[in-house]
């Protein structure tokens, strides 16, 4: 009987040890899959970070890792800089809110970095040397996809989005507003994906559900309005550099030795 009891205890201990080893392996795999390719490399003033699926905000920390699903917001007279593994950078001006939608590195070495600007101003300086990088900024009305360029995005309270390009070029499309209008139509009883004619929503502008893509080149600025219409103009880089936000970023790039020309 004693021998049987000892054997049972041995089996139980073996089971527990095996379970702990398996849990450790799974935990290690999860950590590997969620390893960060982004971190807060600089900030000034009051900057806060919210973890994925959480409601509370915590004070940002220098060199704090950022994972997919996390959010960053800045208060008035505050700024933050997010550095990515490939050398790309996103900077956030005061009174701005940004979501890290996707930030990961595949086994192949490809890096994906997608962020959504809900409000405020963001500056992006993307590493053109990394051909495997997929980098894009989104707003409630537009998506800006790039590979190797310098540009800024500003989102106003009415969701008007402005994108100005300083070097390289940016492919801008209106997927968010098209998707929103299609969902709105579907909820109202229309067919999913059906494209209706222009409809009046607010002011004199009309809504067009046709998707478009515009290539915005250096020294050009595109403005996407809440109704999906857009305007493209050229801007004077000398006059533009008088803006405090633009000047600060240019000086910061110069200090870090970042030149994407």
Q: Both 1 and 80 in a single domain?
A: no
Q: Which of 68, 69, 73, 86 has its CA nearest to residue 133?
A: 86
What is the three-state SS of the chain?
CHHHHHHHHHHHHHHHHHHHHHHHHHHHHHHHHCCCCEEEEEEECCEEEECCCCCCEEECCCCCEECCCCEEEECCCCEEEEEECCCCEEEECCCEEEEEEEEEECCCCCEEEEEEEEEEEEEEECCCCCCCEEEEEECCCCEEEECCCEEEEEECCCCCEEEEEEECEEEEECHHHHHHHHHHHHHCCCCCCCCCCCEECCCCCEECCCCCEEEEECCEEEEECCCCCEEEEECCHHHHCCCHHHHHHHHHHHHHCCCCC
Q: Are strands 133-138 and 111-125 parallel, antiparallel or unpaired?
A: parallel
Same domain, 69 and 16: no
Residue 124: which of 141, 146, 108, 109 has the closest Cα? 146
CATH number of the domain that residue 64 is part of? 2.60.120.1440
Same domain, 20 and 146: no
127 shares a domain with 239: yes
Q: Is residue 190 part of a domain?
A: no
pLDDT band with cut points at 50, 70 and 90 for residue 111: confident
Residue 185 lies in a domain: no
Q: Does 220 fall in a domain? A: yes
Q: Are residues 67 and 108 in the same domain?
A: yes
Give the model's pLDDT for residue 25.
42
Q: What is the mean pLDDT of residues 149-178?
A: 95
> Residue 93's CB: how many other CB atoms inside 10 A?
20
pLDDT over 50 at 197, yes or no: no
Question: Looking at the structure, do residues 81 and 109 belong to the same domain, yes or no?
Answer: yes
Task: Identify whether 196 is part of a domain.
Answer: no
Tell me if 194 is assigned to some domain: no
List, for residues 51-107, the tens digit of each pLDDT value. 999 999 999 999 999 999 999 999 999 999 999 988 899 999 999 999 999 988 877
User: What are φ and ψ of residue 5, in 5° steps?
Assistant: -65, -45
Distance between CA atoms of residues 60 and 91, nearest Å? 14
Task: Please check whether residues 7 and 125 belong to one and the same domain.
Answer: no
Q: For 3-45, how does the pLDDT look when each residue is reduced to its tens digit (9 = 90+)?
A: 544 555 555 555 545 544 444 444 434 333 456 789 999 999 9
Q: pLDDT value at position 148?
A: 81
Same domain flag for 113 and 15? no
Q: Identify whether residues 22 and 83 lie together within a single domain.
A: no
Q: In total, how many domains does the chain have?
A: 2
Instruction: Say how many C-beta atoms besides its own lie within 10 A of residue 158's C-beta.
Output: 10
Residues 83, 133, single domain; the answer is yes
| Residue at 205 is within a domain | no
Average pLDDT over residues 135-146: 95
Provide the pLDDT for residue 9: 56
Q: What is the sign, positive or negative, of the torsion defined by CA atoms of 154, 228, 72, 88?
A: negative
Which token pair is 135? 């980098």
Q: Which residue range forms the structural domain that includes residue 10?
A: 1-33
**52 shares its domain with 143:** yes
CB 151 within 8 A of CB 166: yes
Tell me the pLDDT of the chain averaged across its residues: 82
Query: What's the pLDDT tens digit per position in 54-70?
Result: 999 999 999 999 999 99
């Amino acid at each position: 009987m004693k021998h049987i009891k000892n054997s049972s205890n041995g089996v139980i201990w073996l089971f527990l040890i095996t379970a702990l080893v398996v849990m450790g392996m799974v935990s290690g795999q999860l950590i590997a899959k969620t390893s960060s390719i982004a971190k807060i490399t600089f900030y000034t003033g009051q900057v806060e970070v919210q973890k994925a699926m959480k409601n509370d905000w915590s004070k940002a920390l220098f060199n704090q890792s950022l994972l997919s699903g996390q959010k960053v917001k800045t208060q008035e007279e505050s700024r933050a800089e997010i550095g990515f593994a490939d050398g790309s950078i996103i900077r956030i001006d005061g009174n701005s809110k940004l979501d890290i939608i996707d930030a990961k590195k595949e086994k192949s070495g490809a890096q994906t970095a997608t962020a959504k600007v809900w409000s405020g101003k963001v500056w992006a300086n993307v590493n053109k040397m990394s051909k495997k990088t997929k980098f894009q900024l989104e707003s409630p009305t537009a998506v800006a996809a790039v590979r190797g360029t310098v540009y800024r995005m500003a989102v106003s309270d009415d969701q008007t989005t402005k994108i100005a390009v300083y070097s390289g070029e940016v492919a801008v499309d209106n997927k968010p507003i098209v998707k929103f209008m299609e969902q709105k139509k579907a909820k109202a009883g229309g067919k999913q994906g059906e494209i209706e004619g222009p409809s009046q929503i607010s002011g004199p502008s009309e809504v067009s559900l046709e998707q478009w893509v515009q290539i915005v080149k250096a020294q050009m600025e595109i403005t996407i309005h809440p109704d999906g219409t857009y305007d493209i103009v050229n801007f004077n880089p000398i006059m533009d550099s008088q803006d405090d936000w633009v000047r600060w970023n240019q000086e910061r790039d110069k200090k870090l030795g970042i030149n994407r020309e």
